[in-house]
Amino acid sequence: MRRPSVTLPLQAYRAGLRIGEPALTGLLAWRAQRGKEDPRRLPERRGLPGRARPVGPLAWMHGASVGEALSLIGLVEGMIARGFSVLVTTGTRAAAELVGVRLPPGAVHQYMPLDAPRWVGRFLNHWQPDLAVIAESEIWPNTILALDEREIPLILVNGRMSERSFRGWERCPRTAKALLARIAICLTQTQEDGERFAKLGAPRVSIAGNLKFDASVPPADAQQLAYLGAMVAGRPVWVAASTHSGEEAMVAYAHAMLKAQFPQLLTIIAPRHPARGGEAVACANAVGLRSAQRSAGGRPHPSTEVYVADTIGELGLFYRLSPLVFLGGSLVPRGGQNPIEPLRLESAVLHGPHTENFGVIYHALDRAGGAMPVRDGVELAAVAAELLGDRERLADMARAGQRALEPFEGAVARTLAVLPRPCWPRSTARCTTAPRRPPSSRWSGCGTSARPWSRRSCPMPGRAASSRPATRRA
């Protein structure tokens, strides 16, 4: 199938970012000053490598932020078991800090370069991946075009596309098709996601499910767990996790309403962005609650009513301390947060009405009794009062939530079944200038003489190509 030509908007975008490199450099410096970029690793954001390329076949996997990156861990482990080294890139500092300590041997981390053509080219010429795997909805035009020019197969995994994004892409259908037609296969989370990608021009779409359902539980430092567990022993505890602006005030108000019934109550607030810890403290102070801030060395002493956990990578610790978790981004219109981790750690889940990002799973959880919706801070306080006073009901909710997750599992295995295996002796010589033209025998299951795992010849190992978009289950 002949790929669509690069449209004028894409050509303008490419030229604009080529000319705009100095402005992008200034943007990175500005972000570094505000703590949003790691100053020591800024060159990586310009495509300059921070380490040598591993010898042998290399799979590149990209997850922009914390959730996307962590969802790739199962695939990383699977590809290492097949003989690949794996390069994992992220776009945020928080994701880099978390993923850097969670990667298994055989995987390395770098920052994703910004989508300037020269920076992307520099990145690809150094790393020369044999396969690119992008998570969820990261559609960077210059990166897609550069991969296509180098004949590096690109697979979108855990793909999702909201109705809002779909309507936006529908306004430029030729450009959408020019990009999506260059993706070897889209493995999406749901049927609805798959249909949207197919309508926009993705030539091959399969439904693999959500990788996050197979993610391992977040770790917790054993010493900190024992220390904090002893400190809060005997107190009713609940967690407001991944809260956004406006929600900390509602949670603090809910605690103030609960004080009379639960005078020893401890509310732990973990803001979605730890830099907002000071705002959470201010919200607690505004309603007369005594607070402590973890990033400032505070601890949940008996007199502490609100403990602000404004650190990175410790949600697993606080979920283990609480039988009840309210998940933020849902009382304000931010689409909700992932409920899987607290459920895996045996917590009951509360959420607001805005759960579009995880609509299917929240619907299943609510129906099964593993989660409960609340409309505002007043209802949050009322439902929390009922549950904190009934430990048996909390345990029943947590078990119901875990059972509701079972039908959604298996996405990692389904995705790995589609990803190829290396099947040739590699040369250690690497080209550092011109795009590479790899041998046609590169991928197992791809028995044609056309380019490896190409959109024209081998959409999936062991499956025939199709000349029209298809939406199927992997």
Active site members: 68
H-helix or E-strand spanning residue 101: helix 93-102
What SS3 state is found at 207? strand
CA distance 418 to 458: 11
CA distance 171 to 266: 49
**Alpha helices of 327-474 — where are they, by DSSP H?**
340-344, 359-368, 377-388, 391-405, 411-418
CA distance 388 to 67: 29
> Using alpha carbons only, how large is the chain's radius of gyration in Å?
24
CA distance 333 to 355: 8
Q: Which residues contact 271 (CB under 8 A, 6 or more apart)?
A: 242, 243, 244, 248, 277, 279, 280, 308, 310
* 90 phi, psi to nearest 5 deg: -135, 170
CA distance 114 to 93: 14
Distances (CA, A) of 461 to 198, 200, 203, 412: 20, 24, 16, 16
Describe the strand order of the beta sheet including 204-207 as a list of residue ranges.
Answer: 107-111, 85-90, 58-62, 131-135, 154-159, 185-188, 204-207, 470-473
Token reading at 394: 């909390």
Distances (CA, A) of 435 to 41, 86, 128, 441: 26, 20, 9, 18
CA distance 55 to 35: 34
State how beta strands 185-188 and 154-159 pair. Answer: parallel
Is the torsion defined by CA of 448, 454, 459, 462 positive or negative? positive
